[in-house]
Amino acid sequence: MIVVTELFCLILGLIGQSLFGVFVAKSVLRLNSPSTVPPQVADETRSNSIPLAELLGLGLLFGVGLTAWFLLVWSLSGGELGIVPSGVLALAGFATGGPILWQEVRLWWQQGREYGWQQGRTKPIGEDLGKQQRAVCRTCQSLIAILMVLALLQTLQTPQKLWDERAIFALKARVLFEDRSIDSPALRHADFVQYHPHYPLLLPLAEQNVYALLGRVDDRWSKLIFTALYCGLVLTTAGVLQRHLTCAQAWLGALLMATIPVLMPYEYGFLCGQADAPTACYHGLSLLYLWETLSRKSSQRPAIGSMLLAGLCGALAAFTKDEGIAYLMINGAILGLFLIGFLRSREQLRRALFGMVLFVAAASTLMIPWLIHRRSLPNTTEMNYFGRMTVDLLVSRLETLKWSVPHLIRRMFWEWREWGLQWWLMLAAIACRPWRVLQPPLLLFLLDIVGSLAALLLAGMLAPAQLDEHIGGSSHRFLMQIAPVAVLFGVILFFSDEPLPRGEETL
């Protein structure tokens, strides 16, 4: 009976926090409302509504990510971690997100099942094609639902059992739960036995939140958050793509996302408590929202909501794992590069700068509290890449590229049986539609992948560790972090048949 009560509190708490995520998502997405689209564009071929899938997906993602961030800020402000802040957040979620979701579900119900496939970007189509699209949509949705249940069951089958998930994240979660503060003397002590004290605290705080709701430590139940992130990634992908592709294409894309083998059912993906899959999730969606923003024509109003969401998701990736900081820097650099292309038009430049400011502001808001706190943490076992970066070292370690470049190529393309076909999908898409790759919205994905791979090679050059063990033992997990980007790139490049507006790409 006690266990049932504990689980009831846990599930209720997590639902409440996800509803808070729904509230935040809806508030931000409202800034992309259909009214921002001029009438001549807002015809029946395009719908800028907020699909229910996107709202649910973002609710789950923000339910995990923003709860962790809220707990960080709460604890930094002197509050005690435990059931009080977690419970208050859940209650706030029921009060704010509950009515929103109720309204959305009612609308969806009233409009019947037709709503699902019509809310995508649908051209006036024949009845037969409509039925066909619906069949594809329903099948993909059903398969995704089954996959989510499978992910949940497999995740809960084992407690945490891998190296990093316990040595880095679960250990800190436990300390946070027991000491009730991020200023725990243990986490600040240079000789306390912990791995990577500088690693971000999103996962430890999210797991601590589970323990707080449960009332005790159980590292099987804390893995629930990873299933939530898996569902969030897939649903949000489907939702965003529905605004730009047909419903069938969008859900097929989401199904591809859900079946990247390295994310699920590989045991180092979403089925475990490691940070690579969550980083992949937030990073991929950050790119997707950036792409959505860049896809806006100059005749449309800027997608303020999408830009903010890109920044928030990017920051949550950085709050999950340090690689997220590198992704933020890479994406910032890419946006900066695109700015140069907008120099010819003052209006476009103004909009692009405005978009960049939004992106940076959203990311900074989430990142600053963590970065401030991080400065007070010990450096034991940290690689300290930035501190080690010198020209001399880089030149002396150029030799490492002879090993690491072929290694990466082999991992991506030759070992497809182990890790999946996402890199082949990307290559096939480039081969089929090479002329579209050079358009800024899609170039974003490609440059992000190239930048990320370059960052990994750089890390291999700088790390004070044996190269084949360091890169060889982690490259598959790093590639997992950018796998969703490859899938999004492939899906959008293959399925998006909309002629891109030459010379009027804007932020």
Partner 1 sequence: MDWSVTVNMAKPGSQTTPRKTAHGGWCLLVMNLLLAVAALLVAAFCWIVPIEVIEQWAFDRAGQGTFDRFEAIGQADFFVWLGRIVAPLWLWICWSIGSHLAAWEAYGIELIRGLAAITRLAVESRSTGRVSLLASLRTYGLRGLLVAWGVLWLAHAVHGLGLRGHDWPYFRFHSGEEVLPNISDSNRLVIRYLREATPPTARILVASDQKLFFLSYYLRPRFLLHRMHPDSEHVIPLKDQQRKLAAFRLEDLTAEDLVQMPHDYRLEYFEHPDLVDQTQVLSDTAWVAFVRRTTKNPSLIPPYLVRLRKVDP
Applying CB under 8 A, the residues found at the interface with partner 1 are 125-129, 131-136, 139, 150, 154, 157-163, 166-167, 170-171, 174-175, 178, 186, 189, 191-195, 217-220, 246, 248-249, 252, 256, 259, 261, 265-267, 380-381, 383, 416-417, 420-421, 424-425, 428, 432, 463-466, 469, 473, 494-495
Q: At its nearest, how many Å lie between partner 1 and the CB of residue 38?
A: 29
Residue (166 or 283) nearer to partner 1, CB: 166
Q: At its nearest, how many Å lie between partner 1 and the CB of residue 65?
A: 24
Q: At its nearest, how many Å lie between partner 1 and the CB of residue 167?
A: 4
Q: At its nearest, how many Å lie between partner 1 and the CB of residue 474?
A: 10
Question: How distant is the alpha carbon of residue 333 from its chain centre?
Answer: 19
Residue (209 or 246) nearer to partner 1, CB: 246
Phi-psi region of 193 (alpha: psi -120 to 50; beta: other; left: phi over 0): beta
Q: At its nearest, how many Å lie between partner 1 and the CB of residue 500?
A: 16
d(CA 340, CA 352): 10
C-beta of residue 388 within 8 angstroms of C-beta of residue 462: yes
- 118: CB partners within 8 A, 6+ apart: 47, 247
Residue (106 or 131) nearer to partner 1, CB: 131
d(CA 43, CA 377): 54
β-strand partners of 505: 297
Phi-psi region of 382 (alpha: psi -120 to 50; beta: other; left: phi over 0): beta
Q: At its nearest, how many Å lie between partner 1 and the CB of residue 139?
A: 5
Q: At its nearest, how many Å lie between partner 1 and the CB of residue 320?
A: 19
Residue (173 or 408) nearer to partner 1, CB: 173
Q: At its nearest, how many Å lie between partner 1 and the CB of residue 321?
A: 17
The residue type of 455 is A
Residue (77 or 128) nearer to partner 1, CB: 128
Q: At its nearest, how many Å lie between partner 1 and the CB of residue 255?
A: 9
Residue (302 or 484) nearer to partner 1, CB: 484
Residue (112 or 464) nearer to partner 1, CB: 464
Residue (146 or 343) nearer to partner 1, CB: 146
Q: At its nearest, how many Å lie between partner 1 and the CB of residue 348?
A: 31
In the Cβ-directed half-sphere of 226, how many Cα atoms lie within 13 Å? Answer: 36
- 371: CB partners within 8 A, 6+ apart: none
Residue (196 or 373) nearer to partner 1, CB: 196
- H, E, C per residue of 332-356: HHHHHHHHHHCCCCHHHHHHHHHHH
Per-residue CA distances from 135 to 115, 122, 130 (Å): 14, 15, 9
Whose CA is closest to 232, among 266, 278, 169, 165? 278
β-strand partners of 138: none
- 171: CB partners within 8 A, 6+ apart: 194, 195
Residue (39 or 124) nearer to partner 1, CB: 124
Cα distance between the two ends of the chain? 55
Q: At its nearest, how many Å lie between partner 1 and the CB of residue 379?
A: 10
- What secondary structure does DSSP assign to 34-66, as a single string? GGGS-TTT-STT------HHHHHHHHHHHHHHH
d(CA 471, CA 160): 24
Residue (100 or 167) nearer to partner 1, CB: 167
Owner of token pair 């994240």? 169
Q: At its nearest, how many Å lie between partner 1 and the CB of residue 383?
A: 7
Residue (129 or 409) nearer to partner 1, CB: 129
d(CA 314, CA 319): 9
| Cα dihedral: 240, 327, 356, 339 (round 10) | -100
Largest CA distance in the chain: 69
